[in-house]
Chains A and B, each alone.
Chain A
Amino acid sequence: MSSTLPNPVPAVSPGSEEFWAATAEGKLLLRHCDDCGTPIWYPRPFCPACGSLNTSWFEASGRGTVYTFTVVHRSGVPGYRDALPYVVAYVELAEGPRVMTNIVDCDPDQVTVGMPVRVVFHDTGQGNALYRFQPDPSAGADR
């Protein structure tokens, strides 16, 4: 389960260095457009909503809900194939974007669409961390 998921090191590319550096400090950054204000995902120095090249970072809340998920029972992915079954999901962030990730710290059979989740970071050992999501018990208490 989640404790055995591999932590592959992201191949950080130009334009995403700050995003990945922030993960080492437990921060999930989003890009947004300085002209139209739209949050941008995946992060890129370009606004696909209006075509602007003026964009900047801001820190996301790290909270969201499960938009959809799948429990993977067969996998050819190195590392992951030794961690079956595991959950791949899209989480809808409170800021709007739907982000591909894993759901962890939860029995795969207990994951549901709409489940509140919050971000956790798994250290890659290479100066950054993977943003994954776990059930968020505090979300229910808010309501």
Chain B
Amino acid sequence: MSIRGKAFIAGIYEHPLREIPDRSNSQIHAEVAAGALADAGLSFSDVDAYFCDGSAGFGPLSNADYMGLRLTHVDSTETGGSSYVVHVGHAAEAIAAGKCQVALVTLAGRPRSAAMGGGRGGFGDPTPDALFEGLWGMSGAVTGYALAATRHMHEFGTTSEQLAEVKVAASLHAQHNPNAFLREVFTVEQVLDSPMICSPLHRDDCCVVTDGGGAVVVVSPEVARDLNRTSAKVLGHGEAIKHAENGRLDLTYTGAVVSGPRAFEEAGVSHADIDYVSIYDSFTITVIETLEDLGFCEKGKGGRFVLDGTLVAPHGRLPFNTDGGGLCNNHPANRGGMTKVIEAVRQLRGEAHPAVQVPNCTVALAHGTGGSIGARMGSSTLIMGTEDA
């Protein structure tokens, strides 16, 4: 696909100041965004795609939250001073591909007023949320996911036993994976008896902590056709950022409510067509909320949905994470999205472990989650099929 003539630059804005000691990076991002949108005659609510570099904070998450953007396409490619040129190109590609319609690109930094340095937040500034969320003893990701689990239990009656069923299913798969970090088969009782970390999440509701990594190669149809190796066909994709909505956060759902339908629509498949799912499983609650939000069951019924071996391969209604997932197998660099794609491709190739290979697996879904569930997060859904799917 060519982007020629498929995108236009409609608004521009250069900040008028040259020394800004009294404003945060995020404020400057917001000011230039407001300026460019006004120049184009657009408003913040028109923006559906956001592009930024390392000056923005935690990827695109910080500023999406700060500015209240509702995003279904993001790109935080960091290539130093050339980033914004890259962003314009990527934005044009995304628009040409129908992924978005109004792409906002911003840059801000204060090298005269504040030290530029490492650190994850905006070239020396902490992320803008950190000042109000970093004071209360949040102990890693688990605290935020526990806050979501408590609320999910309160609203929907979800139980610790139901959460534990997710770990049990993952462990039934991991026993067949010789590389899995945890190969023992867990019982619900074992999970409930493991030490409480942040109520209601026990140690065994949490994923493993592992070193490692992964990679995938995506090629054109022409290249794919000439290869001897079986490929998985990309059928559809959706992405979204969900954030605190100006303090009206709702921890009971994820960005999958947006990314899922977009992926299904692009793929032209229905839930009944999905033979296998890789569901991001940083914690057991992550799986419950994501399954609901992707529409595999009614909102609030995820806890009941996972009972009776629903997730257990090969014959459960919706086999998931047949490598053992992040809960038992691997969560390299504390980021589980890569392994989600990899196991889905194994299933589509028929190369999962024979004990967990889903028969005639022709359509698979992989879902990734980033950040803190419900509060400031990225969600991405990828639907793939066999070559003839």
Residues of A within 8 A of B (CB): 5, 8, 10-16, 38-51, 53, 67-77, 79-81, 83, 86, 88-90, 96-102, 113-114, 130
Contact = CB atoms under 8 A, between A and B. Distances in A.
B24 A14 contact: yes
Nearest to A51: B44
A99 B249 CA distance: 9
A12 B147 CA distance: 26
Contact of A46 (B27, B37, B143, B249): B27
Contacts, number: 153
Nearest to A103: B136
A128 B140 CA distance: 25
Contact of A42 (B30, B44, B131, B200): B131
A9 to B, nearest CB: 9
A11 B131 contact: yes
Contacts of A43: 132
Interface string B221-246: 00000000000000000000000111
Given A74-B195, A88-B138, A102-B137, A51 B34 contact: yes
A86 B151 contact: no
Contact of B132 (A42, A71, A114): A42
Interface in B119-145: 125-126, 128-140, 143
A74 B197 contact: yes
B67 A51 contact: yes
B27 A68 contact: no
13 contacts: A5-B137, A11-B130, A12-B131, A39-B247, A42-B133, A68-B154, A71-B196, A72-B198, A74-B196, A77-B138, A77-B139, A98-B247, A113-B154
B4 interface: no
A14 B23 contact: yes
Contact of A100 (B26, B128, B136, B140): B136
Contact of B137 (A10, A47, A86, A99): A86
- The size bracket of the interface on B is 35 or more
Nearest to A46: B30
User: Main SS of chain A's interface residues?
Assistant: loop
Contacts of A47: 68
A49 B150 contact: no
B297 to A, nearest CB: 22
B94 to A, nearest CB: 22
- Residue among B30, B137, B246, B249 with the highest chain A CB neighbour number at 10 A: B137
B146 interface: yes
A73 B31 CA distance: 42
A13 B248 CA distance: 23
B31 A53 contact: yes
A40 B128 contact: no
A50 to B, nearest CB: 8
Interface of B: 21-24, 26-27, 30-31, 34, 37, 43-45, 65-68, 125-126, 128-140, 143, 146-151, 154, 195-201, 244-249, 251
A42 B44 CA distance: 18
B150 A74 contact: no
B39 to A, nearest CB: 14
A41 B247 CA distance: 5
Contact of A77 (B131, B137, B149): B137
A128 to B, nearest CB: 11
Contact of A97 (B143, B200, B248): B248
A73 B196 contact: yes
Given A12-B131, A42-B128, A72-B198, A102 B136 contact: yes
Nearest to B200: A70
Given A14-B27, A43-B132, A88-B147, 4 more contacts: A10-B131, A14-B24, A68-B154, A68-B251
